[in-house]
Amino acid sequence: MNYTIQQLSYLVALDYYGNFSRAAESCHVSQPTLSMQVKKLENDLGVTIVDRSKQPLVFTEVGKLILEQAKSSLSELHAIDDIIAESRGEVSGYLHVGIIPTLAPYLVPLFIGNFLKKYPKVNLKLTEFKTEEIIERLHNDKLDVGILATPLNEIGISEEPMFYEKLLSYSDPELALKFGNRVTIDQILSSKLWVLSEGNCFRNQTFNLCSLDQTAYKAFDFEYESGSIETLIRLVDMEGGTTIIPELALDTLTDEQIDRVKFIEQTNPVREISTVRRRKGLKTSIIQALREEIRMSIPKSLIENEQDRQVVAL
């Protein structure tokens, strides 16, 4: 059976865009050309890959299997380009980065501009995913690297810590006056504790920090789930109580709000932020450049937190 790399690329484009017109445009060919090549592939293989009767088009059951193999094959071929770039010491190529939502809004603006200016040959894609989604996509070769809280202790995934971010309490004005400069876990639990929705690693760290059972925890007589730390901060402002915030969130607060931020206990608990990947050895130059730019862009205190740290488990 004969099929080409170009035909496999057309299948991946069809899957992404959902129709022949946009897929052809993305591949810089005419729609008839792309359609003809997909039809030729179907004829050569003797199966129907795409169900053209539906809009957006869908892949048949066997077509889905062929599509996944096409993605895997193209990924392996692109790895050759990465190997060549590595051998030449170039920082260039495509890099898809997954980053957790509790980190992205605070970290990305700090480094993205300088990184893109410094490395114009890098085609960088950043996508927000929850931790479990990043792990799954790394295993399936749908991400090159993740930036998230560790340790994961995930088989087949390597972790390289970058910095350590303090976990801090943020309370309403009345509680903040009572707490002083530092707050104990008992004081935090003496009032409403606003937490993130299930699936967020920062939620897990909040419960582990406070030694709470997630399955039994219910702070209010209503259910509210938020994936946003900014929303939790607004809820504290409007409804009172306390929430846990990461150190990088301080840059988004007003002076009055910062006065209500307190250190927790005497141990200064932190979350460990790392780059994680499955294919160690590929795209090393780009990932290393990204790590270095991030470390240069963040406040020095996050690097210094490495000393005498107490990492909160996920």
Alpha carbons 254 and 259: distance in angstroms, whole number? 9
Alpha carbons 167 and 45: distance in angstroms, whole number? 56
In this chain, the answer to whether the domains covering 91-163+273-300 and 164-269 adopt an identical fold is: yes
* CATH number among 3.40.50.150, 3.40.50.300, 1.10.287.110, 1.10.10.10, domain 5-84: 1.10.10.10
Q: Is 230 within 8 Å of 252 (Cβ atoms)?
A: yes
Bridge partners, 271 (sequence order): 165
Alpha carbons 168 and 176: distance in angstroms, whole number? 12
**Does the pTM of the predicted model rise above 0.85?**
no
Q: Where are the domains of the chain?
A: 5-84, 91-163+273-300, 164-269
What's the pLDDT at 91?
79
What's the pLDDT at 211?
73
Measured CA to CA in angstroms, residue 220 lies from 27, 39, 41, 225 at distances of 53, 58, 58, 12
What's the pLDDT at 196?
84
What topology does CATH give the domain 91-163+273-300? D-Maltodextrin-Binding Protein; domain 2 (3.40.190)
Q: What is the pLDDT along the chain (314 residues), one digit of tens a residue?
A: 678 999 999 999 998 888 899 999 989 999 999 999 999 999 999 999 999 888 788 999 999 999 988 887 887 777 676 677 666 667 788 899 999 999 999 999 999 999 999 999 999 999 999 999 999 989 877 899 999 999 998 988 999 999 999 999 999 999 999 988 899 989 988 888 888 877 778 888 887 887 766 555 555 444 455 678 999 999 999 999 999 999 999 999 999 999 999 999 888 899 999 999 986 667 888 999 999 999 999 999 999 887 767 788 76
- Where on the phi/psi map is residue 28: left (φ > 0), alpha (ψ -120 to 50), or beta? left
What's the pLDDT at 176?
93
Which superfamily does 164-269 belong to?
Periplasmic binding protein-like II (3.40.190.10)
